[in-house]
Amino acid sequence: RMLVPALLILLFCLRGHAGLSPHFLQQPDDLVALLGEEARLPCALGEYWGLVQWTKDGLALGGERDLPGWSRYWISGNAASGQHDLYIKPVELEDQASYECQATQAGLRSRPAQLHVLVPPEAPQVLGGPCVSLVAGVPANLTCRSHGDARPTPELLWFRDGIRLDGTTFHQTLPKEGTTGSVESILSLTPSSHDDGATLVCRARSQALPSGKDTAITLSLQYPPVVTLSAEPQTVLEGETVTFLCQATAQPPVTGYRWAKGGSPVLGARGPMLEVVADASFLTEPVSCEVSNAVGSANRSTALDVQFGPVLQARPEPLSVDVGEDASFSCAWRGNPLPRVTWSRSGDAQVLASGPTLRLPSVGPEDAGDYVCRAEPGLSGLGGGAAEARLTVNAPPIVTALHSAPAFLRGPARLQCLVFASPAPDAVVWSWDEGFLAAGSQGRFLVETFPAPEGRGGQGTALISVLHISGTQESDFSRGFNCSARNRLGEAGTQVSLGRRVSASFPKQKNLVRIPGSSDGSSSQGPEEEETGSGEDRGPIVHKEHSDLVLDEEGALESKDPTNGYYKVRGVSVSLSLGEGTGGGLFLPPPSPLGPPGTPTFYDFNSHLGMVPPCRLYRARAGYLTTPHPRAFTSYSKPTSVGPPDLAPRTPPFPYAAFPIPSHPRLQTHV
């Protein structure tokens, strides 16, 4: 037994002395090979000329060079030089294993080398491809899947025009037994109409195929119309024709057009073109075009630059301010381009201000009047104009004495004053030594106040107040009568004197006529007086020098009647009125103070009041008469219209603006 080990030791020693022992010059390393490609595992030995074999997962493949039984395997290399490489072609999945190179006679084994077989991914599949239909503006998901036994698991990437897209999610499905797994990538996007026809690429990439495999799809977008609206011309003069053109791209095609102006439908407009005549409203009321298809609708609008002349939008309002206060007028004109607005006084070309507002600080009486807001015509020559407003400056009244005709002693008399006041006076009062009177009658006196027939344009309207005296006395010619007026801002007055008229003798004879109803009995009676009235109804004797006074056949005094019997009242006082006076009396308007002496003494206010005065006969003491009296009038004059009142000499003009004229002024005259 001891002999065998000794021999082996001896043999080893002899060999060591003879040369080097067998050893590996090259051992196989781990290798990655693609499915279907060729794999080479190298193995080289030195100082060994014996049997060399390869093992797969510990199973010997054989010692022959062509490895019978393994059709895709073989050993190659120069055996004399110790080269024993293992080749596998084509590589299949079953070839993935651990391989060793062994020198059996030398008892040598190489380190294990792991062969990894890679399987390239197949081209991925995009659901819905190759043409995917989407709706513009609606979020959508595109799904890309990769099936098969790709090793390693591929990654799926999205590209557009060579640029990688973000916003994807990755999901892997593990294979079940007997099946293959899959991976998928989902791309989330919200397409627009600009994406129509775009190409997207899904790429499956792995170590087995770094360049990857691509699958391309084309996007087919359905989208509502994309609208463009134009106008020709865009800038236009008012009255010219404008053409609107509405163009749209849509998928599916356009199904209809609808036009509107300022939000209101344009009736009858259905196509892509609209023709209109431009006016100022198109500047602020845009024209819109709405286009529809099966997916939705869209609209566009545009406003025209319409040039037009000034149009008045807001008139200036009349103002009434007190003296010393500020006044401000405003008016508004609309135009394109913006009109130039100026202010001036009515009848005066001087420009006071420019712009929509006129400010007058601390106004005085001289500022009262009409102010004009004016806009010049536009480029087309149309439009423009002016608007007026009145400034009323409130101040204390101004009272002026008017010319009063001289009166006969014991005859009727009339005193007049002109009152300017704004605001309207609270009262116009006549006063004299023993009394005063604002309206109505008192003894021999009667007061009536009425608007002057014609105001002074821009400077106000006046009141005329008349004091009638029935049966003048000596004291009336020597005393002063005061006419005064007051309003909330103050009061003023003037003194009016009564002039005396000396009676003239008749060429033929002197006729005396008694006016019945007079309370004055100071005159003496003559023989003629007893024929014209009783002692109970006596009046003052009035001296008449009219040539139309004659005696009738019975010796009674008779007067010619120019009215041909229309008015014939005898022996009574009468009144003709437009309305009842204070205290029930009816009076005829006083003789005009406006004309020169000798003109008919009659006021005609019909042109101002628009009404026909009713005729009533009234006896101061006995009441209404039912039959005309033949001697009511000694003369008659046809009514004539009168003009503005003539002021007394050196009467200052009234600077204040008008106050309202009463709608039904009372006009009375007492004879």
Concatenating the DSSP letter of every residue in 390-436 gives EEEEEEEEEEEEBP---B-TTS-EEEEEEEEEESPPSEEEEEETTEE
pLDDT digits (tens, 9 = 90+) for 301-347: 999 998 888 889 999 999 999 989 999 999 999 888 888 999 999 99
Domain 403-497, classified CATH 1.10.645.10, yes or no: no
Average pLDDT over residues 95-108: 92
Record the tokens describing residue 332, joined without a space.
């508004």
Is the pLDDT reported for residue 530 higher than 60? no
DSSP character string of 166-187: --EEEEEEPPPTTS--EEEEEE
Token duo for residue 242 = 């404008």
- 382/214: higher pLDDT: 214
As annotated, the residues of the chain forming the CATH 2.60.40.10 domain(s) are: 23-118, 125-221, 226-307, 308-394, 403-497
- Predicted pLDDT at 181: 65
Strand order through the sheet with 39-41: 39-41, 85-88, 73-76
- Tokens coding 199: 């190409």
d(CA 310, CA 572): 67
Q: Does the pLDDT at position 640 exceed 90? A: no
So what's the pLDDT on residue 460? 52
Cis ω before 649 (30° cut-off from 0) = no
Q: Does residue 17 have a pLDDT over 80?
A: no
What span, in angstroms and rounded, lies between the C-alpha atoms of 293 and 460?
A: 70
How many angstroms separate the CA atoms of 278 and 305, rounded? 9
Comparing 491-505, 568-582, 634-648, the range with the smallest average pLDDT is 568-582
Per-residue confidence (pLDDT) for residue 504, from 0 to 100: 54
Q: What is the mean pLDDT of residues 135-160?
A: 88
Give yes or no for a contact between 392 and 455, defined as CB atoms under 8 angstroms apart.
Answer: no
Q: Are residues 486 and 423 in contact, defined by beta-carbon separation less than 8 angstroms?
A: no
pLDDT score for 387: 94
Q: Which residue has the higher pLDDT, 254 or 608?
A: 254
CATH superfamily of 125-221: Immunoglobulins (2.60.40.10)
Residue 146 is predicted with a pLDDT of 87
More confident residue, 544 or 500: 500
Average pLDDT over residues 346-353: 92
Please determine, for residue 71, whether its predicted confidence score (pLDDT) is greater than 50.
Answer: yes
What pLDDT, on a 0 to 100 scale, did the predictor assign at position 62? 87
Q: Are 644 and 655 in contact (CB under 8 A)?
A: no
Mean pLDDT of 572-577: 31
**Using 50, 70 and 90 to split pLDDT, how confident is the model at 414?**
very high
Neighbours of 270 (CB within 10 A): 12
Cα–Cα distance measured from residue 321 to residue 56, given in angstroms and rounded to the nearest whole number: 121
424 falls in which pLDDT band (50, 70, 90)? confident
What number is the average pLDDT over the span 568-589?
Answer: 33
d(CA 65, CA 308): 107
| Per-residue confidence (pLDDT) for residue 519, from 0 to 100 | 38
Q: Which of 32-41, 105-114, 453-462 has the lowest mean pLDDT?
A: 453-462
Task: Residue 247: name the closest of 276, 306, 289 by CA.
Answer: 289
Q: Of all residues in the chain, what percent are helix, strand and coil, respectively (each to 5)?
A: 5, 45, 50
Q: What's the topology of domain 308-394?
A: Immunoglobulin-like (2.60.40)
Determine contact, residues 219/187, Cβ cutoff 8 Å: no
Looking at residue 581, its pLDDT comes to 36
Determine the average pLDDT of the residues in 474-492: 92
| Average pLDDT value over all residues in the chain | 75
**pLDDT tens-digit series, residues 358-393:** 999 999 888 989 999 999 887 667 777 899 999 999
Q: Class assignment of domain 23-118?
A: mainly beta
Residue 329 dihedral angles phi and psi, to the nearest 5°? -105, 150
The residues, ordered by sequence, that sit 6+ positions from 167 with a Cβ below 8 Å of its Cβ are: 187, 188, 189
Once rounded to an integer, what is the mean pLDDT over residues 484-502? 92
Which residue shows structure tokens 């566009």?
300
What percent of the chain lies above the pLDDT cut of 90? 43
What letter represents residue 668's amino acid? Q
Q: How far apart are CA 172 and CA 146, in angstroms?
A: 10
Q: How confident is residue 654, by pLDDT bands cut at 50, 70 and 90?
A: very low
Q: What's the topology of domain 226-307?
A: Immunoglobulin-like (2.60.40)
Residue 628 has pLDDT above 70, yes or no: no
Whether residue 483 contacts residue 401, with contact meaning beta carbons closer than 8 Å, is answered with: yes
Q: In whole angstroms, what is the distance from residue 82 CA to residue 86 CA?
A: 13
Residue 605 has pLDDT above 60, yes or no: no
